[in-house]
Amino acid sequence: MAEMFALEFERPILDLEKKIKEMKLLSGNSKMELDDEIARLEKKVEKLRADVYSSLTRWQRVQLARHPERPYTLDYIRRILTDFLEMHGDRGYADDAAVVAGFATFQGRSVFVMGHQKGRGTKDNLYRNFGMPNPEGYRKTQRLMELAARFQRPILSFIDTPGAYPGLGAEERGQARAIANNLLLMANLPVPIVAVVIGEGGSGGALAIGLADRVLMLENSIYSVISPEGCASILYRNSAEAPRAAEAMRVTARDLEELGLIEEVIPEPLGGAHRNPLETAERIRETLDRHLQELCALPVAELIKRRHARYFQAGRWEKAKS
């Protein structure tokens, strides 16, 4: 079996787990001698896990959010939705594989689902452009959200992108306008919208499918106005200062919950979503379902009113004492 990718702080845990597994295989024959040792190691790994994951730094969460083994949008779509019909193309220029979208069944009702899609492995990542959409990706979602609204289908959005793609073609084809149009559309879309950040919430490229009635975040996902590296290269003139920037910008799910900018943090299994994708998906399903049911009970006018109120209160300022 191929060696699993491991972050620095994951390595000691994975090594111990591997050792325990090997010993268990061995102990099949001569049970008695190894049992004590296995028990000792299991206790040790349990303590190690608890220690590491109860005191993650913001930068470690950034790394977990970008973990190459982390479940991506299509993984969750497959696990918590059925009857998914993926749809393609912006009807103007191209299909963008960095964004997936289509209709599916969620808890017995038809919904529109969309999300950024990262690739697994080099080839797949090139195809998915590392989950960084071009304008046609956003225009695909725009087209299909309009369709969803016309047929009164609620919208689920999975957010997981380093950002909108900063390329020549993207600028030529109006990246800014594409994002802005999505925001304007979503601001007034007469159906419930629930967004869940499953990995990286990279700035405007994330928000472009993230203006929603409820915004949920997986515990180890991040959401920020600029990437920690981008922030660091501007403010500290050194992108290696990204960990500091992640601290300063407060990019984690818990941070944003504390700041009142998201509705709920969805706890991940110990070690992160990639250590137990099924359990993670199940938790997302439950949380999404609860929020969607609440939203579907609201009359449209009330829904939009609350959506606007949600964003109007986003910001902190004061009146100067004159």
- Under the rule (CB under 8 A), what is the footprint of other proteins? 164-168, 170-177, 179-181, 183-184, 186-188, 203-204, 207-208, 211, 223-226, 230-231, 234-236, 244-245, 248-251, 256, 259, 261, 307-308, 311-312, 314-320, 322
Q: How far is the CB of 196 from other proteins (least distance, A)?
A: 16
Task: Give the amino acid at 66.
Answer: R
**For other proteins, which is the closer residue by CB, 4 or 260?**
260
**For other proteins, which is the closer residue by CB, 60 or 129?**
129
Contact 76, 288 (CB under 8 A): no
Q: How far is the CB of 165 from other proteins (least distance, A)?
A: 8
3-state secondary structure of 83: strand
Q: How far is the CB of 47 from other proteins (least distance, A)?
A: 34
**For other proteins, which is the closer residue by CB, 261 or 270?**
261
CA distance linking residue 147 with residue 293, whole number of Å: 21
Q: How far apart are the first and last CA of the chain?
A: 69
Facing residues of 99 across strands?
Answer: 116
Q: Which two tokens stand for residue 201?
A: 């919430």
Among candidate residues 20, 4, 14, the one with its CA nearest the CA of residue 49? 14
**For other proteins, which is the closer residue by CB, 26 or 309?**
309
**For other proteins, which is the closer residue by CB, 14 or 304?**
304
**For other proteins, which is the closer residue by CB, 74 or 235?**
235
Q: How far is the CB of 109 from other proteins (least distance, A)?
A: 26
Q: How far is the CB of 61 from other proteins (least distance, A)?
A: 15
- Give the H/E segment covering residue 169: helix 168-172
Helices 31-54 and 11-26: angle between axes, nearest 10 degrees: 160
Contact 76, 198 (CB under 8 A): yes
Q: How far is the CB of 150 from other proteins (least distance, A)?
A: 17
Q: Which two tokens stand for residue 222?
A: 């991040």
